[in-house]
């Protein structure tokens, strides 16, 4: 199925008519609008995508009322006069939402010509009345995100139904151009509603109601004709048509100016602005599910001569919006959850207080990680702040137990290429790199180990040691499957090699008197440092080794207490199903004393971070002295909206796991051969990207290596100039994917880290969608 996006052609205005309820006069207003717009355009298109009931006299009459210059079209006609979802049930073939959207899109495209024009698209029933597939009207058409004309309800009770219908449209991301209704004086809804919407800066107007039906058909038609003529002349109607035509021009202008205005007013994150111009900035008009609706000056210039080329182009959100996206853009459930928490609480201060969404989230995190060490959840607003908290926690625990003072140089132990955030304290946890070396206050405070990496090269899974590893330790291991890499119990030879190496290294550090306050590690995948897939066996051995660094001071006093040094897992990127599991630690079979989660925590909607610690870490801050406490806290700590959305997101993802939502993806990762130990269930290591696709691209001549795990796909390109963050190899592929082929095919928006291009799906992305992406990527690599 072709991905159709939000519809916007410069010369074609489109207005979608929704009704606050059935029987509110949607068709009458549609006809009126068709007539009124004939003053502005020689031809007006009227489109009724779905119609139920036989095409009888009434319909013919209706089409006649549209005016002689209106061309009317219906795409799906069901003969039964019932709701579309019931009519479709008894129809010969089911009508999927995607089909309807594509049909509407393709029909509208035929109207998009050199000539200025307009189309009125009339929906069926009310805003949330069912579509043929059983979804709602507003959900069915949401990906097109047409400007809305809402016909209000003039009937008894219509004030409430009109406002509620408007709210339902708003929370689905629609922009409502105007609300119009009949000026029925019995209930006087129009007076109330005009004032209600005026207060909210929403345009609303009313016109006199149509005449009562006349039993005489000829007389009735004549009355209605008169009514249409007088109503389309009504000042409120012409006010609206003028406003809407201006709004269309304004919308075009706003979108077209966005890149240059952004260049003026915005300081972008992570960007050398000499490389930025209005021509590089991507304006995102809206997003739905896996796709952005994008505008770029470059594409606009290319397509300027083609009137049927849409101004907005759908682009697959290939970075999962910087690794956050979980449940699709514009997800109405998350929107409603956010709204409910906002309506129930707003933000309520969390110092010494508690509210239900925060408590429930804390309990879920402590319970579901399967880590018996964890006990207490601390909330912050983003991963960087959450890692600052983790470091403060670990350092204090280590300092208290070891009796270190402020004068001691307490360092952290980490992996090379690690990245834990942009605030200076977390930058200090990583070795000098392009990210931090020019930050005036940066001070690397650690020792960083190089580590073996998992890669697929030409169809072969390997674990490659770094160049600094020597002897047997320096040999490449080959594996028949990714599952075999994770079959840690069967890799005893390397386990011994790693152990000896790590014990030796730690002993040397101890001799030098290095004081380690924490081991900090991103389990499995090191993200911003360059998308590196660490050998899980090495990471496991490292945790085991530091925990054995015991002395009388640093030995654990209880089963779940830290020993050696506190172990922090930064699961901000890798946790909460990014790699297919709730906890990334579960791949290693060892558990941290402190874990930080963010990004997917809210399903990709809002910033929120949690730092969960063990009881023994918590107790290091207890004393009679307030200054011994963790005196950290942000104003919006544990904001209710974020916590509620996190509960909904985690709940949805856990439910997807329980219900086997990823079975199709997992199937392609079932190993073809056997011999794995029972300790690792082979089905547990899988990716949303297919195994066959991965193998295929690994053989491409310009590909160095690839890997995939969970929703992450990594393609490392060969670069004669060397692989680094400064490499331009990735950018070439990224630009190719974003340029796309031609026409109105969807393109792919992605991010690169030097020679590495990665793609990341949402947790809810379908196999069908990814297949289409895989095809495009495969072609682009040719």
Between residue 630 and residue 649, which ones bind a copy of itself under the rule CB under 8 A?
630-637, 639, 641-642
CB 248 within 8 A of CB 15: no
Helix (H, G, I), strand (E, B) or coil at 481: coil
Binding mask 155-184 for a copy of itself (x = CB under 8 A): -xx-xxx-xxx-xx-xxxxxx---------
Considering only 108, 283, 520, 753, the residue that binds a copy of itself (CB under 8 A) is 283
Strands 477-479, 460-464: pairing kind: antiparallel
Binding mask 16-35 for a copy of itself (x = CB under 8 A): -----xxx------------
**By CB under 8 A, residue 252 contacts a copy of itself:** no
Q: How far apart are CA 63 and CA 47, in angstroms?
A: 11
Q: How far apart are CA 257 and CA 251, in angstroms?
A: 10
Q: Which is nearer to a copy of itself, 303 or 436 (CB)?
A: 436
Report the Cα 118 to chain-centroid distance in Å: 33
Considering only 107, 422, 450, 475, the residue that binds a copy of itself (CB under 8 A) is 422
CB 394 within 8 A of CB 518: yes
* Smallest gap from residue 623 Cβ to a copy of itself (A): 7
CB 121 within 8 A of CB 14: yes
Considering only 181, 258, 525, 688, the residue that binds a copy of itself (CB under 8 A) is 258
* Smallest gap from residue 440 Cβ to a copy of itself (A): 4
- Scanning the structure block, which residue is given the tokens 């040999």? 475
685-744: contacts with a copy of itself (CB under 8 A):
725-726
Q: Which is nearer to a copy of itself, 472 or 726 (CB)?
A: 726
* Smallest gap from residue 475 Cβ to a copy of itself (A): 35
* Smallest gap from residue 615 Cβ to a copy of itself (A): 10
CB 522 within 8 A of CB 418: yes
Q: How far apart are CA 176 and CA 7, in angstroms?
A: 15
**By CB under 8 A, residue 335 contacts a copy of itself:** yes
The contacts of residue 210 (CB under 8 Å, 6+ apart) are 25, 28, 182, 224, 227
Q: How far apart are CA 741 and CA 61, in angstroms?
A: 45
Considering only 77, 99, 423, 509, the residue that binds a copy of itself (CB under 8 A) is 423
Q: How far apart are CA 751 and CA 101, in angstroms?
A: 29
**By CB under 8 A, residue 566 contacts a copy of itself:** no
Number of shown-chain residues binding a copy of itself (CB under 8 A):
173
**By CB under 8 A, residue 396 contacts a copy of itself:** yes
Q: How far apart are CA 752 and CA 725, in angstroms?
A: 9
**By CB under 8 A, residue 684 contacts a copy of itself:** no
**By CB under 8 A, residue 83 contacts a copy of itself:** yes
Strand ranges for 683-724 from DSSP E:
703-709, 712-717
Count other Cβ atoms within 10 Å, centred on residue 679: 11
Considering only 116, 261, 431, 684, the residue that binds a copy of itself (CB under 8 A) is 261
Considering only 1, 217, 349, 507, the residue that binds a copy of itself (CB under 8 A) is 349
Token digits of residue 274: 């000499």
* Smallest gap from residue 32 Cβ to a copy of itself (A): 21
Q: Which is nearer to a copy of itself, 477 or 593 (CB)?
A: 593
CB 326 within 8 A of CB 577: yes
Helix (H, G, I), strand (E, B) or coil at 518: strand
604-633: contacts with a copy of itself (CB under 8 A):
604-607, 611, 613, 618, 621-633
Which has the closest alpha carbon to 172: 191, 131, 144, 201? 144
* Smallest gap from residue 480 Cβ to a copy of itself (A): 36
Alpha helical stretches, state H, 112-214: 137-141, 158-170, 189-199
Among 57-65, 111-119, 447-455, 598-606, the segment contacting a copy of itself (CB under 8 A): 598-606
**By CB under 8 A, residue 287 contacts a copy of itself:** yes
* Smallest gap from residue 325 Cβ to a copy of itself (A): 7
Among 317-325, 542-550, 574-582, 713-721, the segment contacting a copy of itself (CB under 8 A): 317-325
The contacts of residue 132 (CB under 8 Å, 6+ apart) are 50, 76, 78, 84, 85, 87, 88, 91, 94, 95, 100
Q: Nearest 10 degrees: CA dihedral of 580, 584, 590, 596? A: -150
- Scanning the structure block, which residue is given the tokens 């152990």? 499
Token digits of residue 3: 């991905």
Among 100-108, 206-214, 369-377, 466-474, the segment contacting a copy of itself (CB under 8 A): 369-377
**By CB under 8 A, residue 756 contacts a copy of itself:** no
Q: Nearest 10 degrees: CA dihedral of 524, 527, 530, 533? A: 10
**By CB under 8 A, residue 366 contacts a copy of itself:** yes
Strands 525-526, 532-533: pairing kind: antiparallel
Q: How far apart are CA 448 and CA 35, in angstroms?
A: 73
Considering only 98, 202, 339, 696, the residue that binds a copy of itself (CB under 8 A) is 339
Q: Which is nearer to a copy of itself, 218 or 631 (CB)?
A: 631
Considering only 1, 217, 304, 434, the residue that binds a copy of itself (CB under 8 A) is 434
* Smallest gap from residue 609 Cβ to a copy of itself (A): 9
**By CB under 8 A, residue 194 contacts a copy of itself:** no
Q: In what order do the strands lie in the sheet with 751-753?
A: 477-479, 460-464, 453-457, 703-709, 712-717, 756-760, 751-753
Q: Which is nearer to a copy of itself, 83 or 691 (CB)?
A: 83
Which region, left, alpha or beta, applies to residue 370 given φ > 0 means left and ψ of -120 to 50 means alpha?
Answer: left
**By CB under 8 A, residue 149 contacts a copy of itself:** no
Considering only 598, 714, 756, 757, the residue that binds a copy of itself (CB under 8 A) is 598
* Smallest gap from residue 646 Cβ to a copy of itself (A): 13
* Smallest gap from residue 777 Cβ to a copy of itself (A): 19
Token digits of residue 399: 């300092």
CB 205 within 8 A of CB 239: yes
486-525: contacts with a copy of itself (CB under 8 A):
517
Q: How far apart are CA 71 and CA 43, in angstroms?
A: 7
Considering only 59, 116, 220, 356, the residue that binds a copy of itself (CB under 8 A) is 356
* Smallest gap from residue 698 Cβ to a copy of itself (A): 27
Q: Which is nearer to a copy of itself, 490 or 724 (CB)?
A: 724
Q: Which is nearer to a copy of itself, 57 or 201 (CB)?
A: 201
Binding mask 374-393 for a copy of itself (x = CB under 8 A): -xxxxxxxxxxx--x--xx-
Among 231-239, 278-286, 303-311, 539-547, the segment contacting a copy of itself (CB under 8 A): 278-286
* Smallest gap from residue 299 Cβ to a copy of itself (A): 14
């Amino acid at each position: 199925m072709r991905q159709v996006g939000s519809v916007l052609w410069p010369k074609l205005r489109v207005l979608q008519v929704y009704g606050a309820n059935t029987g509110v006069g949607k068709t009458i207003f549609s006809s009126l609008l068709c007539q009124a717009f004939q003053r502005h355009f020689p031809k007006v298109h009227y489109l009724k995508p779905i119609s139920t009931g036989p095409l009888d006299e009434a319909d013919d009459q209706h089409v006649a009322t549209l005016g002689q210059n209106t061309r009317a079209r219906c795409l799906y006609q069901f003969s039964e006069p019932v709701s579309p979802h019931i009519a479709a049930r008894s129809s010969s073939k089911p009508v999927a939402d995607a089909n309807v959207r594509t049909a509407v899109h393709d029909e509208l495209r035929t109207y998009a010509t050199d000539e200025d024009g307009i189309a009125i698209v009339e929906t069926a029933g009310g805003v949330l009345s069912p579509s043929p597939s059983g979804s709602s009207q507003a959900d069915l058409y949401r990906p097109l995100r047409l400007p809305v004309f809402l016909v209000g309800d003039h009937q008894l009770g219509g004030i409430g139904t009109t406002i509620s219908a408007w709210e339902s449209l708003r929370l689905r991301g629609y922009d409502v151009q105007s609300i119009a209704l009949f000026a029925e004086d019995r209930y006087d809804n129009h007076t109330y509603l005009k004032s209600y919407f005026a207060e909210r800066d929403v345009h609303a107007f009313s016109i006199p109601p149509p005449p009562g039906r006349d039993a005489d058909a000829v007389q009735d038609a004549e009355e209605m004709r008169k009514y249409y003529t007088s109503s389309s002349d009504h000042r409120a109607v012409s006010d609206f048509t003028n406003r809407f035509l201006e709004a269309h021009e304004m919308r075009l202008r706003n979108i077209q100016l966005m890149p240059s205005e952004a260049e003026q007013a915005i300081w972008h994150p992570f960007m050398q602005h000499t490389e930025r111009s209005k021509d590089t900035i991507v304006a995102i008009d809206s997003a739905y599910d896996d796709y952005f609706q994008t505008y770029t000056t470059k594409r606009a210039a290319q397509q300027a001569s083609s009137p049927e080329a849409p101004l907005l182009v759908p682009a697959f959100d290939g970075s999962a919006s910087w690794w956050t996206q979980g449940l699709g853009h514009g997800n109405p459930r998350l929107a409603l959850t956010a709204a409910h928490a906002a309506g129930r609480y707003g933000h309520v201060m969390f110092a010494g207080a508690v509210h239900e969404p925060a408590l429930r989230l804390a309990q879920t995190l402590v319970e579901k990680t399967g880590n018996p060490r964890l006990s207490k959840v601390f909330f912050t607003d983003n991963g960087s702040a959450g890692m600052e908290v983790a470091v403060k926690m670990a350092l204090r625990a280590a300092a208290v137990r070891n009796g270190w003072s402020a004068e001691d140089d307490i360092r952290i132990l980490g992996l090379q290429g690690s990245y834990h955030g942009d605030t200076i304290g977390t930058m200090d946890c990583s070795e000098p790199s392009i990210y931090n070396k020019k930050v005036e206050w940066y001070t690397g405070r650690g020792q960083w180990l190089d580590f073996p990496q998992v890669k697929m090269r030409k169809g072969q899974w390997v674990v490659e040691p770094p160049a600094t590893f020597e002897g047997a330790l320096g040999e490449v291991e080959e594996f028949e499957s990714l599952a075999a890499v994770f079959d840690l119990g069967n890799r005893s030879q390397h386990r011994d090699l790693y152990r000896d190496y790590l014990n030796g290294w730690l002993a040397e550090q101890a001799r030098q008197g290095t004081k380690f306050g924490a081991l900090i590690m991103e389990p499995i995948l090191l993200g911003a440092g360059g998308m590196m897939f660490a050998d899980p066996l090495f990471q496991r051995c490292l945790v085991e080794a530091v925990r054995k660094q015991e002395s009388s001071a640093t030995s654990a006093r209880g089963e779940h207490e830290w020993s050696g040094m506190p172990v922090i897992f930064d699961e901000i990127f890798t946790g909460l199903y990014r790699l297919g599991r709730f906890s990334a630690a579960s791949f290693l079979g060892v558990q941290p004393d402190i874990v930080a989660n963010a990004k997917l925590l809210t399903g990709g909607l809002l910033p929120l971070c949690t730092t969960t610690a063990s009881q023994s870490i918590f107790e290091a801050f207890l004393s009679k002295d307030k200054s011994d406490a963790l005196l950290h806290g942000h104003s919006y700590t544990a904001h209710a909206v974020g916590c509620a959305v996190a509960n909904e997101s985690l709940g949805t993802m856990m439910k997807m796991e329980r219900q086997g939502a990823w079975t199709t993806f997992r199937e392609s990762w079932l190993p073809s051969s056997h011999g794995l130990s029972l300790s690792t269930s082979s089905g547990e290591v899988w990716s949303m990207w297919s195994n066959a696709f991965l193998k295929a691209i690994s053989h491409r001549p310009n590909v160095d290596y690839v890997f995939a795990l969970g929703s992450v796909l990594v393609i490392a390109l060969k670069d004669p100039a060397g692989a680094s963050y400064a490499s331009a190899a990735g950018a070439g592929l990224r630009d190719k994917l974003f340029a796309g082929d031609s026409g109105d095919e969807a393109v792919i928006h992605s991010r690169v880290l030097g020679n590495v291009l990665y793609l990341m799906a949402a947790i809810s992305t379908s196999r069908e969608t990814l297949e289409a992406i895989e095809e495009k990527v495969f072609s682009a690599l040719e």
